[in-house]
Structure 1
Amino acid sequence: MKRPYLAWTVCLLSFCSEFGTGPPCRAAEIEDLGVAVRAVVFGNSQGCLAESPQGHPGMFYIPYYSTTGGALVGIDPRSGQHVHIPLPSQGGYGTAVGADGALYVGGVSPGDLYRFEPSTGKIENLGGSRFGGTYVWACAASPDGMKIYAACYPTAGVLEYDLASRTLRDLGRMSPSEQYARSIAVDVLGKVWVGIGTHADLVVYDPQTEEHRSVLPQEYKHNSCAYDVYASGDHVFAELLYDHKHLIYDTRTEQPAAVLGQPPDGLSYMAARGGKEGCFYFHATLSGTLYRYRVGQPEPEKLAERLGQVAVVDGDRYAYAIDDQDFVLYDLTEQRALVRRKLAEARDGMALFSLAAAGDGKIYGSTYINMHMFSVDPQTGTIDDLGKALRWGGQIDSMHGGRDGKVYMGSYVHAVVSAYDPTRPWKIGTDRDSNPREIGPVGSGQYRTRSITLGPDGRVYVGSIPSYNSAPTGAFSRVDPESGEIRTWLDLVPGGAVDHVVADEHYLYGAGGGKLFVFDPEQAKVVLTLDLPVSALVLAPGGRIVGTGGGKLFVFSPSEMRVTHTADNPLADFTHMCPAPDGNLYGINPSRIGRIVAETWQVDEVAAEGGTFLAADQEGRLYFGRGSHVLRLSLKQ
């Protein structure tokens, strides 16, 4: 529901007096159109089974993350009972069940450990962030359930909570140089296995001696992270990013007993909790296929397809899974879903991550880490959560409304490029008729996209960066949406990362590393490079390229191949800019929204408050983000 946020008049007499042009006064009305997307993130969270508040066994619990506050949620699939326990943090990732029947939840911002007692509904903050952690990535219980261990970021440390003494202590860093203790498991001997990143290691901590040692063979240490560590019987599983090899360790020798490759229908195997000793259950990322692996088998066996993120397998029969926002209970014997139910939504939504105007007249956008995209109908002001736009976890980092009417997107993780046609039905996938259609990762170790545009040659151009030690440099990539062919350049700007890119009918204009460059798609090379800091870039009506950076506004003329105008920007650098139907340009930063008057290139203030991202509809109204909300600014002469 839209509601007036602020209505006021900004008189620009001071600007007009200074610059000598522009209207004497403009009225600006800002409306809060509401929360764009309330979808939460379960993708990093561990699920577990514990008693319900009524004492019934088998309630499924899992925490979620949201930029506006997280919670622990639980569902009893047999009775239908549902619980929602707000956490005093942005979310929870790790969970473990103690011998006392309580759930222990690792917090995210702050990185505290919480204890939830189902019988009383009470949640207690046990602390932990005082030791320097902001995330608790994963939790595990000792074999007797009397100790809870938590893996922390950015200390690469482990916390230990002793149920008997009710004390929490910091066991210290498990790596002298890394930040991520990303996953954790406790084996049958009580030893604590910790997955380390972003330079991979697997460390075993012995509570008896209070010493820790690396057990990851050198041949695997070029990876980013030892991930998803899980113990079953006499063995421990660990996945390696980015080789996507999966090691099965013998806990007594602390040596790999088996190495599994990638699943046939996915990127990697992710361990689910549960199963008999010596038996692992995995879901394949991307496909959601569930596999079972018995130690000694050559390969895992397929059990069921498209289940999503399988968190727990109970009694070797029931799979407890998360499929985007839905909880699914699947019977592996009967091969059918017994329960499917939406599990939670964010109290105040998820933070916006991109905005773009498209050819159908709507504004499209994305939100942080839940891979959802949304649309705004300018005629009604209503916002529609279109759903999860890709098979991957993560978010749409960058978005562009192409002249062909499609919306082009670049996404974290693996810098995946996709295209959405608003005129066709929604059907995500990789097939030719999928919509949005996943074209593919750009490769070269790229992980996050910074910019995307449709070039004059009908191909998509993407600026990207690596992450988590995935590559040494950023990149500029060309993606053919028809053939899927990808070509990548790593050295167009210092560091390789192209943060901004726009296109006209002849060239592409990119910026990064303190450089502005002109790229000729016919020659597939840079034809001009200038030393120029750029914080935002836009194609102006009339064909000029306008940007801000270093406190300046600049105008580049493609016909003259030079910067023809430079001036101080009285509103400071913009983070995003867009053209509008009135022929002018508009820019935004956290504290201001400004107008750049066409041809004179003079800057005036239209709102003494700001936000993030910026797009204009066909009537000239401006859309921007503030937290999880979409706001709309209407200008009147």
Structure 2
Amino acid sequence: MSAQALGEPLDGLAIWASAFDVEEGEPRIYAVSTGNPCMLHVIDPIRCEALHALPLEGSDHSWGVVSAPSGVYIGGSGVLYRYTPERGVEHLGEMIAGEYYTWRLAVDEAGRIYGGCYPGGKVFGYDPATGRFRDYGVVAAGEQYARCMQARGGKLYVGAGTIAPHLVVLDIESGAKTELPLPPECAEEQLVYDLDIALDRLFVRITPSSVCYVYDLETREWTDRFEGAAGLSVSSPDARGAVYFVKDDALHRYEVRTRRLSRTSLPMAEPAGDYGWLSGHPLQPEGPCLLGVGRDGSYWVYAPERDVYRLYDPQLPGLPVRLQALAPDGRGTLYGGGYFAGGLAVCDTRSGALTGYRGLGQAEGMLCHDGLLYIGVYPKALIHVFDPARPFVRGDNPRLLFTLQGAEQDRPFAFASCGEEVAIGTVPAYGRHGGALALYAPGEERLRVHRHVLPGQSVVALAVREGLIYAGGSIWGGLGAAPVAAEAELLIWDPTGARALWRGVPIPGAAAVAALAFDASGALWGLTPERLFCFDPATRRVTQSLPLPETNQPQPAHFWRAGSELVWQGGVLYATARGLLLRYDPREARLEVLEEDARLLAADGAGALFYARGATLMRYAPSHLFTSGDPAAPGSSCRQPE
């Protein structure tokens, strides 16, 4: 057998943070797209021209960009960057040791930079005058997320949480922290997700309810609340004292002094990452226009005085998207989903030809069932359905069937066919424990959701045999919540009676049962982070347990599935675990490593295996399956942007 790189089926942009300033007398947009590495895009918004695309080496995400007198600062994977026209991109170093995820940034009146981190929930400061970082420590005890912040008058207002929302006032000089009480109705919420200051008002958006609260910093009173608000920012005020934010899928104007809220003409189906003000634009030459950047790198310009807008696309280059899910249809087609920037990949398993579509979110899991593709998208556990017999049309095919957000679920990782129903296993929302097992009957459009079937655990693996569902758990729940269960369990569930038949720990001390598959004899095989095991459903005992090969790949801080998969094909068990493609022949009782740098796994039924190597789709198959004259030669891809 031999491995072949088929190519990178997905490319795209995911821009969550931008800043706006003037460079050499001309306005500029500084937008950062997530990727490996991230890219800083410098855009001329008057000419709609992309001027530079600069790599941020060492970072694969960015949620914070701010403009300061000393340059444009970008938060990356635990490191801080600075851009200036003279020096380009500078790597300023690690903010705080052990903090590898950076959230929103802020700048104070003195030009100092601040940011929040994960997983320690700490806040850092950076002084451009000295080049030194300061560790302000954990902002809210027990919380892993310091999510957003703004500076004003020597204070840093910080939003934190996931277990419970916190609004903390940090004294910049002394480091002292004081909690500012939120409205009582926020007690059951999770996180202060967004925070802005304008005209002595503090705008605080709480999730998961997405209610924006307004706090008067002078009178120290909560004055307004707006439901249906979307992040990530509230604009700075215009000349008449109005700010702008997204609510109910449209840009809204809020007059701070009169507290009057009105809807503008600009529809906004997605959140607005950041806002800027632009002078000299032909849409409103006599006054400044509001400006914002979309997730796909396009931007909009809105003229408040005329209540009109225009959309622009500077055609920013996309980046390869890491594959996050695979699903074969058993008839010669393989589907794939992308991480963060999302997208839907389609592969002809015989020829290796690839097609990629933009316009679908981050797919955690997929399943081909009764001629349709079911796709689980993060966040809010959105379940979409795609009809392969119809063209891909963004927003229509795939279409949204339902969400499991009401059951506090966020990540639909596990899928399996259970008779006429689709079984779905999920990870709960941030700061929550208790995944769910959902059963959807397409013919009746009936949904049954069973939460806490594995108490305190997520449901991350599913397999079905003789009408029973076998579910593997992970002790890790939503991010920001430490495990409450000690070891992962295996569940046997009767979907007809909606009851558990058996629940137990297959491998003592294991953090997850990350993958499950039946062999031809009816034995159930499973993967934990350290072991491959075989479970006898009749006796409900583990009959074999083998250690996985050692690898230099670091274990993730939280372990749901980590790209682990199991496939039984041709009398042999194949697995991806610890970044390895493995083969186990029960007749030889030998576990061997076939390939390194491998995640996810799917079989086409004809002897070929497919796995992911970052953004590249790989095929591992007997050499006779490869045909000369394949439409997609190794390393190539065919992409469709829409």
Q: TM-score, normalised by structure 1?
A: 0.81
- CA distance in 1 between counterparts of 2:433 and 2:262 reads 34
Note if 1:626 corresponds to 2:613.
yes
The 4+ residue runs of structure 1 with deviation greater than 6 A are none
2:389: which partner in 1?
423
Q: How does 1:454-493 map to 2 (within 5 A)?
A: 454-456=417-419, 458-469=420-431, 471-481=432-442, 485-493=446-454
User: For the Cα contact (< 8 Å) 1:38–1:345, is it kept in 2?
Assistant: yes
- CA distance in 2 between counterparts of 1:210 and 1:608 reads 50
**Deviations 1:401-449 (Å, cap 9, x if unpaired)?**
22x12222222212222222222122344xxx64243422253212222
User: For the Cα contact (< 8 Å) 1:114–1:124, is it kept in 2?
Assistant: yes
The amino acid that maps onto 1:134 is: Y
Count of aligned pairs: 576
User: For the Cα contact (< 8 Å) 2:231–2:271, is it kept in 1?
Assistant: no
Match of 1:136 among 98, 102, 106: 102
Which has the higher mean CA deviation after the structures are superposed, 496-505 or 602-611?
602-611
The amino acid that maps onto 2:622 is: L
1:41: which partner in 2?
14
Note if 1:103 corresponds to 2:72.
yes
Q: How does 1:73-472 map to 2 (within 5 A)?
A: 73-79=41-47, 80-90=49-59, 91-100=61-70, 102-107=71-76, 109=77, 111-118=78-85, 120-130=86-96, 132-142=98-108, 144=109, 146-164=111-129, 167-187=132-152, 189-198=153-162, 199-207=164-172, 210-217=175-182, 219=184, 220-263=186-229, 268-276=230-238, 278-284=241-247, 288-295=249-256, 296-297=258-259, 299-306=261-268, 308-310=270-272, 311-314=274-277, 318-332=289-303, 333=306, 335-346=308-319, 349-390=320-361, 395-402=362-369, 404-429=370-395, 434-441=397-404, 443-456=406-419, 458-469=420-431, 471-472=432-433
Note if 1:575 corresponds to 2:564.
yes
User: For the Cα contact (< 8 Å) 1:418–1:438, is it kept in 2?
Assistant: yes
TM-aligned CA distance change 1:163 to 1:254, over 3 Å? farther
Distance apart, 1:238 and its partner CA: 1.0
User: For the Cα contact (< 8 Å) 1:200–1:240, is it kept in 2?
Assistant: yes
User: For the Cα contact (< 8 Å) 2:457–2:488, is it kept in 1?
Assistant: no
User: For the Cα contact (< 8 Å) 2:10–2:357, is it kept in 1?
Assistant: no
**How many percent of aligned residue pairs carry the same amino acid?**
24
- CA distance in 1 between counterparts of 2:121 and 2:578 reads 33
- CA distance in 2 between counterparts of 1:544 and 1:425 reads 40
- CA distance in 1 between counterparts of 2:514 and 2:271 reads 38
TM-aligned CA distance change 1:252 to 1:165, over 3 Å? farther
**Deviations 1:85-124 (Å, cap 9, x if unpaired)?**
2213314321221134x212222x2x22222112x14223
Distance apart, 1:336 and its partner CA: 4.6
The amino acid that maps onto 2:64 is: G
User: For the Cα contact (< 8 Å) 2:42–2:53, is it kept in 1?
Assistant: yes
The amino acid that maps onto 1:196 is: A
Distance apart, 1:530 and its partner CA: 5.1
Note if 1:71 corresponds to 2:42.
no
Q: How does 1:530-545 map to 2 (within 5 A)?
A: 531-533=505-507, 534-541=513-520, 545=524
Which has the higher mean CA deviation after the structures are superposed, 225-234 or 274-283?
274-283
**Deviations 1:587-625 (Å, cap 9, x if unpaired)?**
232365444558x59556472546211111243211011
Note if 1:588 corresponds to 2:550.
no
Query: Any stretches of 5+ residues in structure 1 without a counterpart?
Result: 1-27
Match of 2:543 among 559, 566, 591: 566
User: For the Cα contact (< 8 Å) 2:506–2:541, is it kept in 1?
Assistant: no
SS in 1 for 2:344: strand
User: For the Cα contact (< 8 Å) 1:362–1:375, is it kept in 2?
Assistant: yes
- CA distance in 1 between counterparts of 2:134 and 2:584 reads 56
2:464: which partner in 1?
503
Distance apart, 1:335 and its partner CA: 3.7
2:598: which partner in 1?
611
Structure scoring higher RCO (CA < 8 A, sep ≥ 6) equals 2
Instruction: Output the aligned Cα RMSD.
Output: 3.2
The amino acid that maps onto 1:93 is: W
User: For the Cα contact (< 8 Å) 2:190–2:430, is it kept in 1?
Assistant: yes
- CA distance in 2 between counterparts of 1:441 and 1:540 reads 31
Distance apart, 1:632 and its partner CA: 0.9
- CA distance in 1 between counterparts of 2:451 and 2:145 reads 27
User: For the Cα contact (< 8 Å) 1:106–1:113, is it kept in 2?
Assistant: yes
- CA distance in 2 between counterparts of 1:538 and 1:524 reads 22
Distance apart, 1:137 and its partner CA: 1.1
TM-aligned CA distance change 1:485 to 1:613, over 3 Å? same
TM-aligned CA distance change 1:269 to 1:368, over 3 Å? closer
TM-aligned CA distance change 1:335 to 1:459, over 3 Å? farther
User: For the Cα contact (< 8 Å) 1:439–1:481, is it kept in 2?
Assistant: no
**Deviations 1:527-567 (Å, cap 9, x if unpaired)?**
3445424442124457654435574542546xxx4459833
TM-aligned CA distance change 1:251 to 1:57, over 3 Å? farther
User: For the Cα contact (< 8 Å) 1:99–1:145, is it kept in 2?
Assistant: no
TM-aligned CA distance change 1:442 to 1:562, over 3 Å? farther
TM-aligned CA distance change 1:360 to 1:387, over 3 Å? farther
- CA distance in 2 between counterparts of 1:548 and 1:72 reads 39
- CA distance in 2 between counterparts of 1:322 and 1:407 reads 32
- CA distance in 2 between counterparts of 1:63 and 1:518 reads 46
The amino acid that maps onto 2:246 is: H
- CA distance in 1 between counterparts of 2:518 and 2:410 reads 27
TM-aligned CA distance change 1:587 to 1:258, over 3 Å? same
TM-aligned CA distance change 1:322 to 1:499, over 3 Å? same
The amino acid that maps onto 2:384 is: S
User: For the Cα contact (< 8 Å) 2:435–2:459, is it kept in 1?
Assistant: yes
Distance apart, 1:256 and its partner CA: 1.8
TM-aligned CA distance change 1:71 to 1:636, over 3 Å? closer
The amino acid that maps onto 1:537 is: L
